[in-house]
Each structure stands twice: as C-alpha cells, then as structure tokens.
Amino acid sequence: MSSPISPHSRRPEGLSRRAVVAGGVAAVGLAALPPRAQAEDLQPLAELIARITEGAVPKRGKITLDIPQLVENGNSVDVKITVESPMTEADHVRWIHLIADKNPFPDMARFHLGPRCGRAEVATTLRLAASQKVTAVAALSTGGYVVADGDVVVTLSACIDGG
Amino acid sequence: MRWRAVLALTVIALAAAPATAEIKSGSEFLSPEMRRQQADETRNPAWFWVEQGEELFSRKPQTGAACISCHAEPKQSLRGAATHYPQVDAASGKLLNLEGRIEQCRIERQKQPGFGYETPEMLAMTAYVASLSRGLPVEVKTDGAAKPYYEAGKAFFERRQGQLNLSCQQCHDGMVGQKLRGDTISYGAGTGYPAYRLEWNDVGSLHRRLRACSLGVRATQFDYGSPEYLALELFLAGRAKGLPVETPGIRR
Amino acid sequence: MPFNARITMPAEARAGDIIEIRVLTRHPMDRGGQSDGKGGTVPRMILNRLTATYSGEQVFRLDMNTGISANPFVSFTTRAVASGDIVFEWREDGGATYTRTARLVVT
C-alpha cells in the first residue's frame, strides 16, 4: 500500500525478532518475557519532527495551532493552523505537516500550499487515539521550518455501543 | 389525620416533580463548538444522509409510485409530520415511529421489500422526513389510544434494570448535568435523532442509542423497532413535548 | 453511497480576493486493522489525497493518513485569479478517484 506521507510513519516494532528469540531462549522455564515495556516505547516527538525537517530544528513563532485543550471524543477533533506568511512566489509556506506522537500512525496529514493560496490558513478534523500533544510543522520556501504544538486531553464517553 | 394527608400530597407532588420539570434538548449538553456545528450545514455530516433521503424520496421504485408522487411538495406537505411520531396507527392499533411508518408505506403501498431498520436507506429516509420538521415543537399524543403505550414506556423508564440495577430515570432525571466519564448526562430527549454521533462516526437511529443505554446498565438489549423501545420512544417524546425537532443532530 | 462531498465557497469574487473553500466529505475513512472476525484484519480504506486545481494549476493538496477523521472537514484558501472551475479530486486507497467541481466567477 502506498503511503502518501512517509514510509517511516509506522511506530518501530520495539523488540527485533532476533532480540525476542534470544530473550525467549534465555527465559526458558521462566515466565514469558513481558513485551509491554517495549511496545509502549514510542518514537520520541523530536525524532518524528527531525525526520520531516531533515534534521533541522524548527523555530517557534509565526505559526498558530488552534486546537481544543479538552475534547469529548477523539474521533473528530477540529484543528486550524495559520502561518504568518506573505505567500508570494519568493516567500511562502510549502507545506504544513501534522503529527500526533501517540497515534498508531503519528503522521496525520500534510497540507501542500503555494503562492496561489493567498494565505497559509488551513483546517481539518483529526482522529486522536489518546490524550497527547499535537504538533504542526511548516516548511517555508525561504528555507527553515516553524513549529507549534498543543496538548489535547481526550475524554472517554460513557455508554458506548460496545459497552 | 390532616397533616398526614398534607404529607401524602407533598410526597405525591415531589414524586411528580421530575416529570413536570423543564426538559432540555441533548444539544444543550454539547460543547458550544458542537452546537454550532450541528446548525452548520457545511460542518454537520448528517446532512449527507438527509440529502440521500431526499433523493430516495423522489426516486421511483420498481413497483408502485415514488414517495413524492403522493407527498408532493414535501417541504410543505410533510412539514411537522415527524413531530407527531410515535403515533398509534389507526388501522392496526399498533404504535408506529417514523421508521415504522416509512417501512409500512414502502411495503404496503409501494409493494417493495422493506428497507430494514438501521439500513443506510432507512436512516436517510428518516433523517430526511424528520429534517422537514426541524425547528417545530414535538407534539406527540400520549392520551386516548396512545395512553397504554405511553404508560408502558413510562414504566420502562422508571423500572430498575440490568446488572447495574439502574432505571433510566435515576440518571436522566436525577443526575442530569452531572458527569458520567467524559459525558454530561442529559434528559434523553431524543429530539436530534437520527443523529450523527462522533462515537459511531455515522448516523444512527434513536433505537441504536437506546441499545447502547441498555448495554451501559448491563440490561437486555431489545431489537430495533421492538415494542419496548417504541413505547419508551413515545414516553421520551411525551417528555420532550414543546422542544424543537433538531434532526439531523450531532451528538457525542 | 460511500462518497459524497459538500463544497462551500463564494460563487463570485473580485480578482485578487482571497476566498475560503470549505469541504465536507462523506467517507468512513476506515483506518483498518480491526479484526474481521475470521482471524484477519480489515484493510485500511481511506481517502489518502485531496487536490484542488484551479486555473491550470494545482493550488492545494492534502495528503491524508489514518489520523484524519471519518467524514472529514477541510478548509483552505485560494486567490481568485480568473473565472473558471475549481476541480476537486479525491484519491482512495485502492486507486479509485472521485471528482467534484465548483465554479467561481471572477469580476
């Protein structure tokens, strides 16, 4: 399946197969190796950002991420991103990338913009698997990146279909 | 003797109080953003179902006539129709909700196989017809032939049930406005259904919502369109008399 | 009816004006991975791309992953340059595409 965003957007699997086999051999006769600690070992946000900025550290400011601090359901969360930019041929926002580091697939979306947009102002509805930090990274045509983030608490609803 | 009578009257008055209390729509318990989105056709996905229903309404089935050939100018002719449901069907004496009436028309007049409860077509048709009454107050009949059904619904609402041994009333009268996990407990007015629920990522009927309620208290889940839920639907509509129809609503 | 879209934008604008385009889409955006009850998993089935082409050029593109909600809403802006159609195209997993157009009259 082709991923439009990044082939690296999957979380690392945690233990390699070799480590599991080795551990399993070492643990013969003992309780099974708890895989939990490794499974929850998420890729750090800094790495997720560095991957899309080719290592550059994005600057704060000039970008606003508008997202509620508390949402009643993670299935549809409004988000709006605005970047201060003249949006001219020489100086515009090339793209805006959204990351949710605790989602199974942290790369959520990428908006590709250009001078024809007039403004760098986009919005969409996100799916958040858990309470977490949502990060927006924008790439500028002049080189460099800007970043903004927001912490979102996702509450659980009661009396869901599955009980 | 006299003070006893006074006390008894007071007790009766207190017991009756919740039933006469002002009921608020479920949308009053949503965040302001969600309430805005419900009213905004550019944001409320449930309008896709309304649109689909409008299309089905004018489409001629293989046998019989299209809905619109009898119900011409539905925006006028069916305006307010949904506010009278559930209602007792004069011919059969049975309680029908809007879904039941649509299905009856389809089977008996159009001679078509029924859509079936909770199918996308039935949800679309119900959402469309109900949307024609948007803003009009609920006006169901709870007396006369409807009385036994209403009473059955009331008894269902007040009866403790399920492994949690809760009645509908204990939460939806007694604890309205309080929190249940991330939810705010509402009156269960049901005036937005069929509604788009974020939890479902989809439009669903009131009976789908009621089935989730039943499961929530670990009680028997009745079938879609079952007599139990129909009676309860009538009771809820009776409580919601005067509240505007909001279909297609948005709910959590 | 798995796909439908509602595009909201002004019908008219003056040349140079920046207009806002709001797009609501009907699509389950199935993230996949759930059990199919037969020992396997449900495949992912989402709209993975939305493009908007206007006056001979792609003016907007959104690449979507499973982090975009079911029945998603998207808004963006474009500068009115000439009267013509704005063509919206969605690409679904598996290769299917859906198209809608909206006309903008520029005065």
Domain ranges across chain C: 4-29+46-106
Q: Is B162 helix (H, G, I), strand (E, B) or coil?
A: coil
Q: Are β-strands A70-71 and A145-154 bridged in parallel, bridged antiparallel, or unpaired?
A: parallel
Looking at the DSSP bridge assignments, the partners of residue A107 are A99
Contact A128 C59 (CB under 8 A): no
With respect to residue A37, please indicate whether it lies within any of the assigned structural domains.
Answer: no
Residues of C in contact with A126 (CB under 8 A): 67-69
Residue B79, annotated as binding a ligand: no
**CATH number of the domain where residue A97 is located:** 2.60.40.2470
Q: Is the CB of residue B118 less than 8 Å from the CB of residue B103?
A: no
Whether residue B52 lies within 8 A of chain C, CB to CB, comes out as yes
Alpha carbons B143 and C83: distance in angstroms, whole number: 61
Q: What are the structure tokens assigned to B125, written together? A: 């048709």
**Distance of residue C35 Cα from the nearest chain B Cα, in angstroms:** 17
Neighbours of B71 (CB within 10 A): 16
Residue B224 DSSP one-character state: T
Contact A157 B200 (CB under 8 A): no
With respect to residue A80, please indicate whether it lies within any of the assigned structural domains.
Answer: yes
What number is the average pLDDT over the span A114-132?
Answer: 96
Q: Are β-strands A59-60 and A145-154 bridged in parallel, bridged antiparallel, or unpaired?
A: parallel
Mean pLDDT across chain B, nearest whole number? Answer: 91
Q: Is A40 helix (H, G, I), strand (E, B) or coil?
A: coil
**Distance of residue C88 Cα from the nearest chain A Cα, in angstroms:** 14
Residue B67, annotated as binding a ligand: yes
What number is the average pLDDT over the span B153-177?
Answer: 95
Contact C70 A75 (CB under 8 A): yes
Residue B168, annotated as binding a ligand: yes
Map B170-202 to HEC letters: HHHCCCCCCEECCEECCCCCCCCCCEEECCCCE
The CA-based diameter of chain B, rounded to the nearest angstrom, is 73
Percent of chain B residues past pLDDT 90, beyond the cut: 83
Residue C2's pLDDT band (cuts 50, 70, 90): confident
What number is the average pLDDT over the span C9-16?
Answer: 96
Q: Range with the lowest mean pLDDT among A92-106, B3-17, B18-32, C86-100?
A: B3-17
Instruction: Provide the pLDDT for residue C77.
Output: 98
Residue-range domain boundaries for chain B: 23-251
Q: Quick check: A33 pLDDT over 70?
A: no
Q: Which of A75, A103, A112 sits opposite C60 (nearest CB)?
A: A112
Neighbours of A60 (CB within 10 A): 9
**Burial per residue of B87-101, b for 16 or more beta-carbon CB atoms within 10 angstroms, e otherwise:** bbeeeeeebbbbbbb
Whether residue B198 lies within 8 A of chain A, CB to CB, comes out as yes
Contact B42 C24 (CB under 8 A): yes
Percent of chain A residues past pLDDT 90, beyond the cut: 64
Whether residue A89 lies within 8 A of chain B, CB to CB, comes out as no
Residue B232 DSSP one-character state: H
The set of long-range contacts for C25-28, using a CB threshold of 8 Å and a minimum separation of 24, is C25/C50, C25/C71, C25/C72, C25/C73, C25/C74, C25/C90, C26/B45, C26/B48, C26/C1, C26/C2, C26/C71, C27/C2, C27/C3, C27/C70, C27/C71, C27/C72, C27/C90, C27/C92, C28/B201, C28/B202, C28/C2, C28/C70, C28/C71
With respect to residue A75, please indicate whether it lies within any of the assigned structural domains.
Answer: yes
Contact C1 B45 (CB under 8 A): no
Residue A35's pLDDT band (cuts 50, 70, 90): very low
Whether residue C79 lies within 8 A of chain B, CB to CB, comes out as no
Instruction: Provide the pLDDT for residue B181.
Output: 78
Contact C1 B47 (CB under 8 A): no
Contacting partners of chain C (3+ CB pairs under 8 A) = A, B
Higher pLDDT, B69 or C36: B69
Mean pLDDT across chain A, nearest whole number? Answer: 81
Instruction: Provide the pLDDT for residue B98.
Output: 97
Q: List pLDDT tens digits, range A83-121.
A: 999 999 999 999 999 999 999 999 999 999 999 999 999
Map A67-83 to HEC letters: CCCEECCCCCEEEEEEE
Contact C57 A116 (CB under 8 A): yes
Mean pLDDT across chain C, nearest whole number? Answer: 95
Strand order in the sheet with B195-197: B202-204, B195-197, B249-251
Alpha carbons A94 and A91: distance in angstroms, whole number: 9
Higher pLDDT, C106 or B15: C106
Terminal alpha carbon distance of chain A:
33
Instruction: Provide the pLDDT for residue A43.
Output: 76
| Amino acid at the residue A146 | V
Whether residue C65 lies within 8 A of chain A, CB to CB, comes out as yes
Q: Is the CB of residue A101 less than 8 Å from the CB of residue A53?
A: no
Residue A155's pLDDT band (cuts 50, 70, 90): confident
Residues of A in contact with C9 (CB under 8 A): none
* Full domain range(s) for residue A89: 42-154
Residues of B that are catalytic: 213
Q: Is the CB of residue C50 less than 8 Å from the CB of residue C65?
A: no
Instruction: Provide the pLDDT for residue B182.
Output: 77
Contact C67 A125 (CB under 8 A): no
Residue B213, annotated as binding a ligand: yes
Residues of C in contact with B41 (CB under 8 A): 6
Whether residue B85 lies within 8 A of chain C, CB to CB, comes out as no
Percent of chain A residues past pLDDT 70, beyond the cut: 70
Residues of B in contact with C69 (CB under 8 A): 201
Residue B84, annotated as binding a ligand: no
Instruction: Provide the pLDDT for residue A162.
Output: 61
Q: Quick check: A23 pLDDT over 50?
A: no
Instruction: Provide the pLDDT for residue A27.
Output: 42
Residue C93: closest C-alpha in chain A: A1
Residues of A in contact with B34 (CB under 8 A): 72
Instruction: Provide the pLDDT for residue B174.
Output: 86
Q: Where are the alpha helices (DSSP H) in B59-146?
A: 67-70, 74-77, 98-104, 120-131
Percent of chain B residues past pLDDT 70, beyond the cut: 92
Residue A160's pLDDT band (cuts 50, 70, 90): low
Instruction: Provide the pLDDT for residue A41.
Output: 56
Q: List pLDDT tens digits, range C42-62.
A: 899 999 999 999 998 999 999
Whether residue A16 lies within 8 A of chain B, CB to CB, comes out as no
List A residues 90-119 in contact with C (Cβ-Cβ < 8 A). Answer: 98, 100, 103-114, 116-119
Q: Helix, strand, coil proportions of chain C in percent (round to 5)?
A: 0, 60, 40
Whether residue B183 lies within 8 A of chain A, CB to CB, comes out as yes
Neighbours of A115 (CB within 10 A): 17
What number is the average pLDDT over the span C90-101?
Answer: 97
The third-level CATH classification (topology) of the domain covering B23-251 is: Cytochrome Bc1 Complex; Chain D, domain 2 (1.10.760)
CATH superfamily to which C4-29+46-106 belongs: Immunoglobulins (2.60.40.10)
Residue B2, annotated as binding a ligand: no
Q: Is B26 helix (H, G, I), strand (E, B) or coil?
A: helix
CA distances from B4 to A114, B8, B14, B119 (A): 81, 6, 15, 56
For residue A108, give the nearest of A82, A84, A81, A68 by alpha carbon: A81
As for how many domains chain A has, the answer is: 1
What number is the average pLDDT over the span A60-64?
Answer: 95
